Structure 1
Amino acid sequence: MSVALPVDAQQSSSLWGDAWWRLRRNRAALAGLIFLSVIVVVALLTPLLAPYAYEEQRLALGASGPSAAHWLGTDVLGRDMLTRIMYGGRVSLLVGFVATAVALLIGVLYGAVAGYVGGRVDAVMMRFVDILYALPFMIFIILLLVIFGQSMLLLFIAIGAVEWLTMARIVRGQVQNIRRQEFVEAAVSMGLGPWTIIRRHVIPNTLGPVIVYTTLTIPSVMLLEAFLSFLGLGVQPPQSSWGLLISYGVETMEEFPWLLVYPGLALTLTLFALNFLGDGLRDALDPQSASGRGGS
């Protein structure tokens, strides 16, 4: 039995318009997108929205539970937890987005070149990826941070340097199919160079899987940063992140549970939202789903 489609969906002729129409019908993905948008806006406007200064301490107040003056309570130094969670969210999101951007830059370029050139070049490049996969990447990150020192920039590079491997494989597989398409052969016949073809025609046609994997990489990176901060190798004081706040909360969870519950809840909800959005984008950009809808 055929189902009548809305007028705006019937008029949508582009892949992206069609994908957006299906994404809006996925309530979990749409809720995740709205939640993430709010979190990002709050993170950007934290200096204006935070109820207290980040460094403000009230030692006499100490660790106190939620109240009218401090909605999420205070930590052992009398610092407002809502303020610290808002500033910590800025750092956690920054690590998630920047480290993922580093991973995407390396992985997309590496996979596109390997998939388009093919042959021995592809074999050598992908064997290098296999070797890196066999290494314990967590130990690799810890060694980098211990040897070269702990800084935000090195944290971005270290995490991005190990998260690009899967993206390289995904892009390589997509490019191997794309390079056989007629528009690529037409570009070759026009005399365009390999790099121009990769940049103008190949990489843009891999954006669907890249976008989906990006939304799944960000939570992975944020969890990795939280784990490193829990070990004392991530973000360093006076800066803070959700992972560092959780680490502090674990130490005092029996006496002051709100120091663990609220930053943990912020991180958990953000990770859920990213995963819901990633699942929704995967369904929205799935070509088989698109063709199935067109035949309904």
Structure 2
Amino acid sequence: MTTDIIEDITEAEQGSSLWHDAWLRLRKNRLALAGGMLLVAFTIIALLTPWIAPYAYDAQNLDLGASPPSAQHWLGTDIFGRDLLTQIMFGGRVSLAVGFVATSVALLIGVTWGAIAGYVGGKVDAVMMRLVDIMYALPFMIFIVLLMVVFGRNILLLFLAIGAVEWLTMARIMRSQVQQLRQQEFVEAAISLGLPPSTIIRRHLIPNALGPIIVYTTLTIPSVMLLEAFLSFLGLGIQPPQTSWGLLISYGAETMEEFPWLLIFPGLALTVTLFSLNFLGDGLRDALDVRRSKD
């Protein structure tokens, strides 16, 4: 009898947990789960590409040239006789890396900036957020192009440049969250104990704002990947011999009338990944909505 009571209490405690409730709601969202599984699958394939790709990355067959899908080349070949499936797999490594790394840079800057502004408040907050407003007014595409022109076309610089212009929204979101949490009793208790502001922000405020941070992350990655694809399409992003989905789409667009598969398959890979991320982001947003915890 006592064991049954303990189990009931444990289940009640788990049921009242925000993260437990969020997981239960997320499990009911089939599109979000499918998006998450596809994203995990694409990430695993990208990591294992050097070992599972059907052909070597630089393998060419100029005599074969651009050929449609066949038993030997499932997605066809490009104008240099390179296997398109292999190119897409290696391009996915770069595109996903840009998405994850650039988003991480944006989160690091945005979370730190917004947390400090929201916690300190006053003139410091006003100055920091006015800088954010000024940067919002600047055409970020021109900013990235200038960085690429001045410092050269480098993949690491591309990561940093994209991340450096995608942190502004996260800073505003984090500032709003911290301003709300700043009035909570656990923060006032930490202040009364004499904890330094850096500790309060790191151990109390940021962990309690993980919900919006996670949701914003899943919605920023596709935005970053689209930006990289657009830059590569313009010739300002990834440069040969490296490749990305955006660069493959650029090449495919040039020959789409003669060899449509060169545009269809890279575009399909990018589209499916972006849809997966958006479905997962929407699902996490709904699952982590505190107002739904009583549903």
Q: TM-score, normalised by structure 1?
A: 0.95
Cα distance, 1:48 vs structure 2: 1.4
TM-superposition CA deviations, 1:90-127 (whole Å, max 9, x none): 00000000000000000000000000000010000000
Task: Name the aligned partner's letter for residue 137 of structure 2.
Answer: A
Structure 1 residue runs without a partner (length 5+): 1-6
Residue 14 of structure 1 deviates from its aligned partner by 2.0
Paired residues in the alignment total 286
Residue 37 of structure 1 corresponds to 40
Q: Does 1:197 find its partner at 2:205?
A: no
Ranges in structure 2 where 5+ consecutive residues have no aligned partner: 1-9
Question: Does 1:172 find its partner at 2:175?
Answer: yes
Q: Which amino acid aligns with 2:59?
A: E
CA separation in 2, counterparts of 1:89 and 1:13? 40
Secondary structure, counterpart of 1:246 in structure 2: helix
Q: Deviations along 1:26-84, whole A, 9 cap, x unmatched?
A: 01101101111110111111111100000000001000000000000000000000000
The answer to whether structure 1 residue 120 and structure 2 residue 158 are counterparts is no
Which SS does the other structure have where 2:92 is aligned?
A: helix
SS in 2 for 1:45: helix
Query: 8 Å contact 2:14–2:20 — kept in the other structure?
Result: no
Name the amino acid aligned to 1:20.
W
Are residues 1:151 and 2:154 paired?
yes
Does the CA-based 8 Å contact 1:54-1:84 persist in structure 2?
yes
Task: Give how far 1:10 is off.
Answer: 8.3
Alpha-carbon separation, structure 1, partners of 2:138 and 2:112: 22
For 1:250, which of 235, 239, 253 is the aligned residue?
Answer: 253
Partner of 2:23: 20
Q: CA separation in 2, counterparts of 1:44 and 1:97?
A: 13
Residue of 278, 284, 290 corresponding to 2:287: 284
What secondary structure, in the 3-state scheme, does the structure 1 residue paired with 2:66 have? coil
Q: Verify: 1:72 aligned to 2:75, yes or no.
A: yes
Matched letter for residue 70 of structure 2: S
Question: Are the structure 2 counterparts of residues 147 and 78 from structure 1 closer, same or farther at C-alpha, using a change threshold of 3 Å?
Answer: same
1:73-152 equivalent positions in 2, closer than 5 A: 73-152=76-155
Closer, same or farther in 2 for the Cα pair 1:9/1:259, shift >3 Å? Answer: farther
Conserved? CA contact 1:9–1:18, under 8 Å: no
Relative to structure 1, the CA distance from residue 185 to residue 148 in structure 2 (aligned partners, 3 Å threshold; closer, same or farther) is same
- Residue 226 of structure 1 and its aligned partner are, at CA, apart by 0.2
2:266 maps to which of 263, 267, 270: 263
Does the CA contact (< 8 Å) of 2:215 and 2:285 recur in 1? yes
User: Which of the numbers 49, 52, 56 marks the counterpart of 2:55?
Assistant: 52
Shift of 1:13: 3.3
For residue 66 of structure 1, give the secondary structure of its aligned residue in structure 2.
coil
Task: Give 1:50's aligned amino acid.
Answer: A
The residue matched to 1:67 in structure 2 has which SS? coil
Question: Separation in 1 of the partners of 2:129 and 2:116?
Answer: 11
Q: Identify the residue that residue 275 of structure 2 maps to in structure 1.
A: 272
Q: CA RMSD in A?
A: 1.2
1:208 aligns with 2:199: no
Partner of 1:235: 238
Cα deviations by residue, 1:184-205 (Å, 9 ceiling, x for unpaired): 0000111101111001101111
Identity %: 76
Return the TM-score normalized by structure 2: 0.95
